[in-house]
Amino acid sequence: MTNQEKNCRARLHLVDSHRQCQHCQAEKLCLSFGLDQSIGAEMRDLIQERGPFQAGDTIYRQSDPFRSIYSIQSGCVKAETVTVDGRASVVGFFHPGDLAGLDGIGSKTYPTDLIALETTWICEIPYKELLDLCGHSPKLQSRFIERMGMTIQQHEQDWKVLRSDPAEIRVMRFLYQLHERNRRNGSTSPRVKLPMAKQDLASYLSLTPESLSRVLTRMQTDGYILKESQRVLVLQKSLEDELGLPVSRS
Amino acid sequence: MTNQEKNCRARLHLVDSHRQCQHCQAEKLCLSFGLDQSIGAEMRDLIQERGPFQAGDTIYRQSDPFRSIYSIQSGCVKAETVTVDGRASVVGFFHPGDLAGLDGIGSKTYPTDLIALETTWICEIPYKELLDLCGHSPKLQSRFIERMGMTIQQHEQDWKVLRSDPAEIRVMRFLYQLHERNRRNGSTSPRVKLPMAKQDLASYLSLTPESLSRVLTRMQTDGYILKESQRVLVLQKSLEDELGLPVSRS
DNA sequence: CGACGGGTTGACTGGATTCAAGCCACGTGG
DNA sequence: CCACGTGGCTTGAATCCAGTCAACCCGTCG
């Protein structure tokens, strides 16, 4: 199996961890950013830089034993689970600076697959050792726990939104968040590049690919966006107004 | 305002924290269960037992400053947020042994209201002090972080389910989980008591009250349940088969 | 008593799914 | 080079599930 081989290669590809994070677009979001000298050094020893993963490569699999959490340096990954009836269902996307694998804490195994969507570098952080270090660094401890708390809150938010809002609003909100992330990273372009396939996005938004497609064309005819290419959209209007008030199309 | 007064009374009602948790139905689920002597004692000093809250009493409000997390001793509470357009939306229910308020970690304020659904006793655990203690007890630290990880995983699961499944399956799954919780607590009865109002449950399942009502009557005519009273359902068939495979009504 | 809020029921509507066909870019092999 | 197949995506028509709006029931409380 070509795919399996590729995954194997990806898994075995380890990079010297002392390369000083030169692939990292997310240094300031790193758990170890700005720690005391000694703890910071221990942290850097702990972390395993891994990559590059290519689109489709598996970082870990559902029911693999849980050992590490992963910090995204560059690229983009998706987390998905396989439901009883065999359909895959995307439960999250992770961008540079995000921590993936937190949902494995408290279980013996990961509850999702983690799969790269494009060329991706990540930091593997062994969980047990991280906990040890947290015990010796209140700063690291509180930072880590806060990240988990923010994740919980984020889930709650997303959930609340996803529930009652119509398809178009869900898509708009997703694009808006992606665009906001770009802005925070210094971009000024109205272009939004979708790192994931449309079907992944549809699954994430709990839409069928057909519905997503229809929504995007409708948004184009309504002048909200312009489909520049398969993976790139250009925002034509600020979406904030639409999203601030829920569905009021006054 | 009658309601406000009631809330005030509830807020101010403090109980001596050394009463040895005699209201607690959840000792074994407690963060401090089975800790070393000294840490356990510090933990007990830290915890503020509070109650009784009555149905409708507020434990904390959205945008109150975040200071503590709350462990449910007995009773049941809901967490809800108010959306921009003023509708309330229930994002979770908490039962004895559950930790509420975790979504406030990482923010300055709570993102939800926490409201009692019936007579409820809780333990207030100041967050800063808990972190301190975690720094001195690896056991407590890992236990706390594991609870957060389980919360994240739970959210992911619920979310995945809630998204694509039809109303009837969502309701079945909810009843099943409630019943499972009862079984784990030693109950053998097929009766399931709903601690929350139907509209809260509907909101949580992202249904309208009308749809929930229809689903429940349909489930009764199909022989799955029997509506014994407003708040009590009797399970007639095991729901596992229906939930294992998704919608196959063979 | 009458007002009220929670809950149920009914008829209708609409948005998203389903099923089916078609399009387009891509790679493969003749 | 072109025919062909494939996978991701789009488009169209029919269906269905849940939402909406309205009426009604019922227990509670002033």
pLDDT tens, per residue, chain B with 250 residues: 444 444 444 444 444 444 556 667 777 778 878 778 888 888 888 999 997 999 999 999 999 999 999 999 999 999 999 876 777 899 999 999 999 999 999 899 999 999 999 999 999 999 999 999 999 999 999 999 999 999 999 999 888 777 768 999 999 999 999 999 999 999 999 999 999 999 999 999 999 999 999 999 999 999 999 999 999 999 998 887 777 643 333 3
Query: What percent of chain A is modeled with pLDDT above 90?
Result: 66
Pick B149's closest partner by Cβ from A102, A164, A245: A102
Considering only CA atoms, give the Rg of chain A. Answer: 19
Write out pLDDT tens, residues A131-167. 999 999 999 999 999 999 999 999 998 888 777 689 9
Using a CB-CB distance cutoff of 8 angstroms, which residues of chain B are in contact with residue A145? 105, 131, 144-145, 148
Tokens coding A150:
């923010």
Grouping H, G, I as helix, E, B as strand and the rest as coil, residue B96 is coil
Q: How many angstroms separate the Cα of B84 from the Cα of each of A15, A247, B65, B89, B177?
A: 47, 11, 20, 11, 31
- Mean pLDDT over A237-249 rounds to 62
Cβ–Cβ < 8 Å for B234, B190: yes
- The Cα–Cα gap between B19 and B30 comes to 15
CATH code given to domain B21-154 = 2.60.120.10
Q: How many angstroms separate the Cα of B149 from the Cα of each of A82, A206, B7?
A: 20, 24, 32
B157/A111 Cβ within 8 A = yes
Tell me the torsion sign for CA atoms B144, B145, B151, B157.
negative
Q: Where does the pLDDT of residue A59 fall: very low under 50, low under 70, confident under 90, or very high at 90 and above?
A: very high
A152/B134 Cβ within 8 A = no
Q: Which nucleotide is nearest to B205 (CA to C1')?
A: D18
Helix intervals (H) in chain A = 2-12, 37-46, 127-136, 138-164, 167-184, 198-204, 209-221, 240-244
β-pair partners for A169? none
Fold that domain A165-243 belongs to in CATH = Arc Repressor Mutant, subunit A (1.10.10)
- The Cα–Cα gap between B175 and B197 comes to 14
Which string of DSSP letters, residue by residue, matches A55-114? TT-EEE-TTSBP-EEEEEEES-EEEEEE-TTS-EEEEEEE-TT-EE-GGGTTSSB-SSEE
Query: What percent of chain A is modeled with pLDDT above 70?
Result: 87
- Mean pLDDT over A63-73 rounds to 96
Tokens coding A120:
């991706």
Please report the pLDDT score of residue B34 as a whole number.
78
Please report the pLDDT score of residue A57 as a whole number.
93
The answer, yes or no, to whether the previous bond of A52 is cis (omega within 30 of 0) is yes
- The Cα–Cα gap between B94 and B153 comes to 16
Grouping H, G, I as helix, E, B as strand and the rest as coil, residue B191 is strand
Q: Which nucleotide is nearest to A230 (CA to C1')?
A: D9
Tokens coding A133:
């270090």
pTM metric for this prediction: 0.88
Is the model's pLDDT at A28 over the cut of 50? Answer: yes
**Which sequence spans correspond to the domains of chain B?**
21-154, 165-243
Q: Where does the pLDDT of residue A3 fall: very low under 50, low under 70, confident under 90, or very high at 90 and above?
A: very low
- Work out the burial of residue B19: count CB atoms within 10 Å of its CB; fewer than 13 is exposed, 13-18 middle, 19 or more buried: exposed
Write out pLDDT tens, residues B79-98. 999 876 777 899 999 999 99
- Mean pLDDT over A169-196 rounds to 93
- The Cα–Cα gap between A175 and A238 comes to 11
Is the model's pLDDT at A227 over the cut of 50? Answer: yes
Residues in chain B whose Cβ is within 8 Å of chain A: 81, 83-85, 89, 91-92, 102-107, 111-112, 131-132, 134-135, 138, 141-142, 144-153, 155-160, 162-164, 206, 244-246
Cβ–Cβ < 8 Å for A51, A122: yes
Please report the pLDDT score of residue B244 as a whole number.
66
